[in-house]
Amino acid sequence: MSDEIAILGAGMHPWGKWGHNFVQYGVAAAREALADAGVPWQDIKFVSGGATIRCGYPGFVAGATFAQALGWQGAEVNTSYAACASGSQALAAARNKILSGECDVALVVGADTTPKGFLAPAGGYRPEDPDWVRFYLGITNPTYFALYARRRIDLYGDTLEDFAAVKVKNSLVGSKNPRARYRKCFTAEDVAASAMVADPLRLMDICATSDGGAALIVSSLEYARKLGKPNAPRVAAISTVTPTFASGVLEMPDIATDSAAASGVEAHAYRSMIPLKAYEEAGIGPEDISLAEVYDLSTALELDWIEDLQLAPRGESAGLLRAGDTALGGKIPVNVSGGLACFGEAVPAQALSQICELTWQLRGEAGDRQVEGAQVGITANQGLFGHGSSVIVKK
Amino acid sequence: MSAKPLAPAIEGWHTMQVKPHLIGSQCTECGTYFFPKQNDYCRNPHCNSTNFREVELSRTGKVWSYTNACYKPPAPFVAADPFVPYAIAGVQLETEQMVILGQVIEGLTVDDLKVGMPMELVLEALHETDDDIKVTWKWQPLTQ
């Protein structure tokens, strides 16, 4: 199809808590992606960066910051911020530039350095900011993940053992990923022994924050052919659609949902909305998916995403998990990179890292983590205030 | 607890009587409710209204989901020393068709809660300052 673009190269700086400037991670990822693509830096016409808001002004203008660090060469720049969906929006900006014919090859890059401890809002008395309000009232990020997890227990009969099994599954594949931060194979006993944070979620059910960087080189299909890479994996869909009013799901950082009291409103939560648009845009359905990289901010959230992506009927993803279907070698492997469980979140890089994994999987270069015969992969991630993104990559 | 006067932690978000209500707003054209109050633009995509009335929201509802906080949140949360864990509930209001988050009153744990359980709104201390005791809304199981 004419609205596809090619992924020529992928690169990542390993995730960790390295304590370096974020630019260093982004440059390392970009150089790996350029080398992987076989495209000289001087040929890149557009640099699309995912912003980081915790690293000062250079992070706000990440596209220009990375372009300067790699050496000014006259490319146009863009910076996108959408919390954890920043990478997908940066990719969408590059795709628009390529499909409009303004540029034939682009670099998309995101990187972050995370501070120690909690991510806290700005100070003062600021009740107009929902993020300030919820922290003042004692509502943290794990609160929201735990509310969703509890509903799975009370409505679908999921158990703490199911949640622990997600961690065990992801840590097993993550142990084989040299770019992952946590590479230990955890057991159900390890999870059960970790401290309760937000009931029913324990410390090992919840993802950490990490330093990391990820980059992609994307191009028009014609450019890929000229470069001798006609079979490079393609971006078949990028979905960033919002929910529809009146969403009844409590979304971080809000303390109340929309009201559905008015007549004629039909609510759809964003998690179930974004895959619908992605499938439609790619012209495929859930039955075509070979593997999925989903945003396991908590173990239980992986189970929600599997249902939102329609890989299992609502309430039945724990059944897939118990049958081993979502493990490497199963019917529909989920998070064979190790997921956030093994990476921790490096916000502007995370959505791009999911696409890096799909790229290597579809090229058959994922080594010990390889999903046999992978043809189509889908990502899903979460931003803030009930938005997120989903990207489909196919051979 | 000291004899200091009670004051709302966030000014104007709830009434201060024994059986308190959250103070929200309602669009005069489409009937959509808002909490916190919205007085400038209606967020219903089918409605262009800029007119709202202030309303007291229902003070009872049913548990949508619940959890707790086992660790001290960062500022602006003001924690007791030592930190005392508390339960949290999202409660669905029937008339307003919306879910509102809040702490659950002191002394209750997640073992006391269940999805669908009837709850009511009360006021309880959030923290103390030099001048007063800051109170906020919390949820407790409905007592008939």
pLDDT one-digit tens code per residue, A187-221: 999 999 999 999 999 999 999 999 999 999 999 99
Q: For residue A117, give how far its alpha carbon lies from the nearest alpha carbon of chain B (Å).
A: 9
Provide the pLDDT confidence category of residue B121 given band limits of 50, 70 and 90. very high
> What is the chain A residue with the closest CA to B116?
A154
Provide the pLDDT confidence category of residue A155 given band limits of 50, 70 and 90. very high
Chain B residue numbers touching A205 (CB-CB < 8 A): none
B124's CB contacts (< 8 A; 6+ apart) are B103, B105, B106, B135, B136, B138
B18 to chain A, any CB pair closer than 8 A? The answer is no
What pLDDT is attached to residue A243? 86
Tell me, yes or no, whether A22 lies in a domain: yes
Tell me, yes or no, whether B35 lies in a domain: no
Chain A residue numbers touching B75 (CB-CB < 8 A): 120, 123, 135
Interface predicted TM-score (ipTM)? 0.95
Tell me, yes or no, whether B23 lies in a domain: no
Task: For A39-71, write each residue's pLDDT tens digit.
Answer: 999 999 999 999 998 889 999 999 999 999 999
Tell me, yes or no, whether A381 lies in a domain: no
A198 to chain B, any CB pair closer than 8 A? The answer is yes
What pLDDT is attached to residue A383? 79
Residue A231 has pLDDT above 80, yes or no: yes
Q: What percent of chain A has pLDDT over 90?
A: 87
Across the interface, do A261 and B73 touch by the CB < 8 Å criterion? no
Chain A residue numbers touching B74 (CB-CB < 8 A): 117-120, 135, 140
What pLDDT is attached to residue B144? 65
Tell me, yes or no, whether B2 lies in a domain: no
What pLDDT is attached to residue A122? 77
Tell me, yes or no, whether A179 lies in a domain: no
A245 to chain B, any CB pair closer than 8 A? The answer is yes
What pLDDT is attached to residue B1? 52
Residue A293 has pLDDT above 90, yes or no: yes
Q: Between residues 54 and 113 of chain B, which touch chain A (CB distance below 8 Å)? A: 64-71, 73-77, 86, 88, 90, 92, 95-103, 110
Tell me, yes or no, whether A252 lies in a domain: no
Structure tokens at B63: 């548990």
Least Cα distance to A18 among A395, A349, A352, A375 occurs for A349
Across the interface, do B31 and A261 touch by the CB < 8 Å criterion? yes
Residue B2 has pLDDT above 70, yes or no: no
Tell me, yes or no, whether B3 lies in a domain: no
Q: CATH code at A93? A: 3.40.47.10
Range name among A121-130, B59-68, B108-117 with the lowest pLDDT average:
A121-130
Tell me, yes or no, whether B49 lies in a domain: no
Residue A44 domain boundaries:
5-117+209-226
> What is the chain B residue with the closest CA to A264?
B46
Tell me, yes or no, whether A63 lies in a domain: yes
Tell me, yes or no, whether A324 lies in a domain: no
Average pLDDT over residues A260-278: 85
Residue A267 has pLDDT above 90, yes or no: no
How many structural domains compose chain B? 1
CA atoms within 13 A on the CB side of B31: 9
Tell me, yes or no, whether B4 lies in a domain: no
Structure tokens at A368: 């010990």
Residue B75 domain boundaries:
59-141
What pLDDT is attached to residue A246? 87
> What is the chain B residue with the closest CA to A253?
B101
First to last CA, chain A: 12
What pLDDT is attached to residue A118? 61
Tell me, yes or no, whether B82 lies in a domain: yes
Tell me, yes or no, whether B132 lies in a domain: yes
A154 to chain B, any CB pair closer than 8 A? The answer is yes
Tell me, yes or no, whether A391 lies in a domain: no
Chain B residue numbers touching A135 (CB-CB < 8 A): 73-77
How many structural domains compose chain A? 1
Q: Provide the mean pLDDT of chain A.
A: 95
Tell me, yes or no, whether A214 lies in a domain: yes
* Cβ B66 vs Cβ B88: under 8 Å: yes
Q: What percent of chain A has pLDDT over 70?
A: 98
What pLDDT is attached to residue A384? 73
Residue A101 has pLDDT above 90, yes or no: yes
What pLDDT is attached to residue A391? 98
